[in-house]
Copies of this chain bind each other. A is one copy, B any other.
Amino acid sequence: MAVYTDVGAEELEAFLSGYDIGELLSYKGIAEGVENSNFLVHTRRGHFILTLYEKRVAASDLPFFLALMQHLASRGITCPQPVKNRAGAVLGEVAGRPAAIITFLEGMWIRRPSAGHCGALGEALAKLHRAGADFPQTRANALSVAGWRPLYAAVGPRCDTIQPNLSAALAAQLEEVEKSWPGNLPQGVIHADLFPDNVFFLGDKLSGLIDFYFACTDALAYDLAICLNAWCFEPDHSYNVTKGKSLLAAYGAVRPLSAAERQALPLLARGAALRFLLTRLVDWFDERSAALVRRKDPMEYFRKLRFHQAVKSVRDYGIDA
């Protein structure tokens, strides 16, 4: 939640002169997005987001993300769309960073999602997966199972300062998950970071999905497992089966899960918990990150991991086996 790069009015006006979106009236740096700098821009033609891609996003991945947003929007998914400049390009440069003008989406994210919100999310996620089915580009998921051991190594025994023996517990989890990670589930474009702050609502109606900068090609059911972790636990870290049931039923009504996907769900949920636990631990020990963003509690995900480990069957999530 920070603006890493300052953009001057003179510089922004020069950049916008390449677009057909009218005269600049005002712009504000907004506290949104952990990876990039974002500005809410008002011109005579309306409101837009200017995103400056900071170092944590690989410039070579930007064409994938921007093309995906265009593809999904053309398939009826409400998500931000990159605006083309007069030369037809969606990517330019501001303040030495790759930069894009993106359409602005109304809506607010929900701090305490209800079962109804979880249902709306499940439906939107399944539609996203269907809409992405014919997207021709692929991008490997750098934060899937093969990426977790290097993260674990980067944190190392330091994490025992947060909780005694955490390091050994993580090593055991990692080994189990690596050994049994399923390789044959239906693949496609996944959002991979569909937390509540990336899902907008107007009233009870889901109004759009944002932040596709972790999107990649991976098991579709893994995206669902990420959402179960992000949406269906209470502040006391207990799993809310009503919310889970609502999310899973709404998803299944649009894109039915195969038997193999259901079977794999507890393991995928463990993997998803491990992934966010590990990246939060890395951020926790990163002093630069500490100064710029509010770090998230890694142990929240350790408790979720414990829940998934104890699960007897997929029925515990609120879905038939």
Shortest CB distance A130–B (Å): 27
Could you tell me if B106 and A42 are in contact, using CB atoms closer than 8 angstroms?
yes
- Encoded as 1 (CB less than 8 Å from any B CB) or 0, chain A from 14 to 53 comes to 0000000000111111111000000010100001000000
Partner-binding segment picked from A1-9, A148-156, A219-227, A303-311: A1-9
Shortest CB distance A110–B (Å): 6
Could you tell me if B25 and A202 are in contact, using CB atoms closer than 8 angstroms?
yes
Is A291 in contact with chain B by the CB < 8 A criterion? yes
Shortest CB distance A242–B (Å): 19
Is A236 in contact with chain B by the CB < 8 A criterion? no
Query: What is the interface of chain A mostly: helix, strand, loop, or mixed?
Result: mixed
Could you tell me if A29 and B32 are in contact, using CB atoms closer than 8 angstroms?
yes
Which residues of chain B are near A27, meaning CB under 8 Å? 108
Q: How many positions in chain A have a CB within 8 Å of any CB in the partner chain?
A: 33
Is A98 in contact with chain B by the CB < 8 A criterion? no
Q: Which of B25, B29, B106, B112 lies in contact with A30, CB distance below 8 A?
A: B29
Is A111 in contact with chain B by the CB < 8 A criterion? yes
Tell me whether A10 and B112 are in contact in the complex, defined as CB-CB below 8 angstroms, given that A25-B107, A29-B30 are known contacts.
Answer: yes
Cα(A12)–Cα(B47), bound, Å: 21
Could you tell me if A31 and B9 are in contact, using CB atoms closer than 8 angstroms?
no
Could you tell me if B1 and A110 are in contact, using CB atoms closer than 8 angstroms?
no
Could you tell me if B30 and A40 are in contact, using CB atoms closer than 8 angstroms?
yes
Q: Which 5 A-B pairs have the closest CB atoms?
A: A9-B108, A29-B31, A8-B111, A28-B30, A3-B31
| A-B CB contact pairs (8 Å), 11 listed | A1-B3, A8-B111, A9-B108, A9-B109, A9-B201, A10-B110, A12-B108, A26-B200, A29-B31, A30-B31, A42-B106
